[in-house]
Amino acid sequence: MANNPAHDIAVVGAGIIGVACALRLARQGLRVVVIDPQPPGHGASFGNAGHLATEQVFPIADVSILKRLPGMLLDSMGPLRLDWRYLPRALPWFTRLLLNLRAQPFENTVAGLRALNESSLAAWQRLLGDIQRSELLKVDGSLLAYERSESRQALEALQQRLHQQQVPVDVWQAGAIRETAPQLSERIQGGLFFPRTGHFIDPYRVVTALVDAAKAGGVSFLQQRIAGGQVQDDGVCLHTDNGPINARRVLIACGAHSAPLTAALTGIKVPLDTERGYHLMLPHETGRLPFPVTSLERKFIMTPMSDGLRLAGTVEFAGLQKPANMQRAWQLHRLSQGLFREDLSTEAATPWMGFRPSLPDSLPVIDQACDGKVLLAFGHQHLGLTQAAVTAEMLARMACPASTPAPDLPRRERYRLARF
Ligand SMILES: Cc1cc2nc3c(=O)[nH]c(=O)nc-3n(C[C@H](O)[C@H](O)[C@H](O)COP(=O)(O)OP(=O)(O)OC[C@H]3O[C@@H](n4cnc5c(N)ncnc54)[C@H](O)[C@@H]3O)c2cc1C
């Protein structure tokens, strides 16, 4: 079978990354199968905040956070939480994170994020345009708002740093905010507006739209878990409970679950962990905001979607096994209180938790190994939705260098597996 496998590429993982890549690879004429034990889009890609966050070129941790870190981690309902029982497992990851805060690695991270983010919007417009689903993305900008006058200085400093990175940003005073988002309360004093950002009206519908297009283009979907595999002379063999699946190449795109298969196929142990995040979906709150609004002080985002307003955010270090603490999702509603003239309704609200796939240098792996038989696309942390379309273009170029059209794409060197 391995001498003549039915599949050119087996994509393991049907999140936004795997599905976007599968579609692009199929458009290069490759025979693609996507394998996932869950229906497509039921991992982190289901419930993210839907923000095309091209302005987020700085990793969430920097040296300024270090002093505040112990207090933040101890606050069980705070924006950043560590389950102390998970600390022994997380310690090597945290150590690497701290080492990455040194000047040179930090600059590498910023350059790597910036390169991906700069190409993200155009890549999404190409991808959604190709499948005639451009209505799923609104490019109406987003706002980072502040309430306390003490925050003004921090905001100005951020604006300068963003300006240095050529991120388009406008300073908005309270008056401009009242005009465009009249439902926000008087507490909002001003903010930074990012005109080249956007939001998806429903992140899950984005996955299903890509799946529909992929199926129409000949991609098949199998509901199976990949338990391991081997690289062979003429391809790869993947193990499922129902026997082996052979393909010429494999793409590992299992989000936060990508480390074991990467180790089995390449021998490299990636320090992948998860930053668990939560959302609370408020179905009775459509039309409250014209674009996503993030609160600088309260550290969460509110995104208007077709099915309501989504409150999302928080980072919890507790690994992949511990059940969700949905109190953290409900806490997002408490955080929203006072931000609107009239408080948000929780009627029929639904809480959710998902696993952000995070590497300690905040950059994804977008690469190939084992003579090109193993492709890798995972570790997109807080920005997997933003970066999915550009990741798919980079992957397609890697898999079919001759036949891929050539928009300017980020250089692959920054996202190598071999950095670990
Ligand atoms: C609360 C929250 C808010 C967020 N907000 C944003 C945002 O506004 N903007 C943004 O850009 N990003 C955001 N993100 C991040 C984004 O959601 C993720 O980076 C992205 O969804 C990762 O996509 P993925 O395809 O790599 O992983 P996933 O969507 O998690 O998909 C991985 C898939 O792999 C499958 N899988 C796992 N193990 C196996 C196996 N052994 N065999 C086969 N399949 C397997 C899983 O079942 C899953 O379907 C947010 C995340 C969270 C949690």
Mean pLDDT score, 80-86? 89
Whole-number Å distance between alpha carbons of 238 and 228: 6
Question: Cβ(37) to ligand 1 under 6 A?
Answer: yes
Question: Cβ(198) to ligand 1 under 6 A?
Answer: no
pLDDT, position 4? 56
Nearest to 256 by CA among 10, 3, 17: 17
Mutate to test the pocket of ligand 1, among 35, 38, 45, 80 (most ligand atoms within 8 A of CB): 45
CB contact at 8 A, 370 and 266: yes
pLDDT tens track for 219-253: 999 999 999 999 999 999 999 989 999 999 999 99
**pLDDT confidence of 2, banded at 50, 70, 90?**
very low
Nearest to 32 by CA among 13, 54, 57, 58: 13
pLDDT, position 71? 74
Ranges 278-292, 293-307, 326-340, 395-409: which has the least confidence: 395-409
Mean pLDDT score, 101-115? 96
Beta bridge partners of 170: 193
pLDDT tens track for 315-343: 999 999 999 999 999 999 999 999 999 99
User: Rg of the chain over CA atoms, in angstroms?
Assistant: 21
Whole-number Å distance between alpha carbons of 244 and 24: 25
Question: Cβ(298) to ligand 1 under 6 A?
Answer: no
Q: Is 60 exceeded by the pLDDT of residue 308? A: yes
Whole-number Å distance between alpha carbons of 108 and 182: 40
3-state secondary structure of 36: coil
pLDDT, position 404? 65
Domain range annotation of the chain: 1-54+100-136+198-271+361-420
Note the residue count of the chain.
420
Q: What's domain 1-54+100-136+198-271+361-420's superfamily in CATH?
A: FAD/NAD(P)-binding domain (3.50.50.60)
Whole-number Å distance between alpha carbons of 246 and 3: 9
pLDDT, position 1? 41
Backbone torsions φ then ψ of 197, nearest 5 degrees: -115, 175
Q: Is 70 exceeded by the pLDDT of residue 53? A: yes
- Ligand 1: centre distance to CA 173 (Å): 35
Q: Is 50 exceeded by the pLDDT of residue 282? A: yes
Question: Cβ(300) to ligand 1 under 6 A?
Answer: no
Using CA positions, which residue lies closest to atom 26 of ligand 1? 255
- Ligand 1: centre distance to CA 384 (Å): 7
Q: Is 50 exceeded by the pLDDT of residue 3? A: no
Which of left, alpha, beta for 415 (phi over 0: left; psi -120 to 50: alpha)? alpha
**pLDDT confidence of 62, banded at 50, 70, 90?**
confident
Mutate to test the pocket of ligand 1, among 202, 356, 378 (most ligand atoms within 8 A of CB): 356
Question: Which residue shows structure tokens 């388009």?
Answer: 168
Question: Cβ(210) to ligand 1 under 6 A?
Answer: no
Whole-number Å distance between alpha carbons of 269 and 191: 42
Centre a 10 Å sphere on the Cβ of residue 163 and count the other Cβ atoms it contains.
11
| Model pTM above 0.85 | yes
